[in-house]
Amino acid sequence: MIKVDHITKTFNGFTAVNDASLEIEKGEIVCLIGPSGSGKSTLIRCINGLEHPETGKVYIDGEELDPKSGNFAQIRRKMGFVFQHFNLFPNMTVLENLTLAPVKVLGKSQQEAEDVAMKYLQVVGLVEKKDEYPNKLSGGQKQRVAIARALCLEPEMMLFDEPTSALDPEMVLDVLNVMKELANEGMTMIVVTHEMGFAKTVANRVVFLEDGKIVEDTDAKTFYENPESDRAKDFLSKVMY
Ligand SMILES: Nc1ncnc2c1ncn2[C@@H]1O[C@H](COP(=O)(O)OP(=O)(O)OP(=O)(O)O)[C@@H](O)[C@H]1O
Ligand SMILES: [Mg+2]
């Protein structure tokens, strides 16, 4: 479903992603893990088409993701993206945040868009907040709205870049539970996360990056119990205590 073929992305001569290759099948949950600056965000942004690698290619459902190609926007629409910071429109209610893009981008009627929005507010457990403005919501609630907003575009896969790292600890679980539910329903997911518990229990695979390189790509159990590379061992010894 997603194929990353030897991509390299540099910023002013600095190599952020270095010859990375990766294949993700439908329904897989893949966690991207690695030290700060290792290229996790850059890699997931290349997959989503927010950054463009200088060499190598990204394929989604067999189609090349190429900003110069006519189907670029259409391919990108298959992917929902959730950032660390929620980027909700502050001057719109929750429901307005959720219906904006489906009406503008997908051409849905307002009624249709609201029906879909209510369905996903149910999924994230926030139906009663539909008429609130974002500044009345907690961080965890905002992030769940952001997830619902991405789902309203009915993506085939969801990409998350540290969705819980800006949240207070007691709100992390609510967001992770929503993600777990999506995983259980068969959503294909790539998740950059430092939440080892999530990676361990929900992920099928862990991809470990260091200095822009994929140094390990293995099932989650093997990664945590028996990592192959010294770099992964060293990383785990610092984060598991
Ligand atoms: N737009 C940019 N311009 C210049 N350098 C960048 C840019 N984006 C990322 N980099 C550099 O690329 C490297 C990889 O960054 P990236 O954000 O992908 O790391 P990360 O693994 O997501 O780190 P973190 O865990 O801190 O989020 C870093 O050294 C960063 O400074
Ligand atoms: Mg990052």
Q: For 71-106, what is each residue's pLDDT tens digit?
A: 999 999 999 999 888 789 999 999 999 999 999 999
* Ligand 1: centre distance to CA 5 (Å): 20
pLDDT of 199:
87
pLDDT of 213:
96
With a 6 Å cutoff on the Cβ, whether 210 touches ligand 1 is no
Domains, the chain:
2-13+24-239 (3.40.50.300)
- Residue with the smallest CA separation from ligand 1 atom 31 is 37
Using 50, 70 and 90 to split pLDDT, how confident is the model at 241? low
pLDDT of 64:
96
Q: For 176-197, what is each residue's pLDDT tens digit?
A: 999 999 999 999 999 999 888 8
Task: Name the strand (E) or helix (H) holding 33.
Answer: strand 29-33
With a 6 Å cutoff on the Cβ, whether 166 touches ligand 1 is no
With a 6 Å cutoff on the Cβ, whether 41 touches ligand 1 is yes
**pLDDT over 90 at 217, yes or no:** yes
In this prediction, what percent of the chain has a pLDDT beyond 90? 77
pLDDT of 98:
97
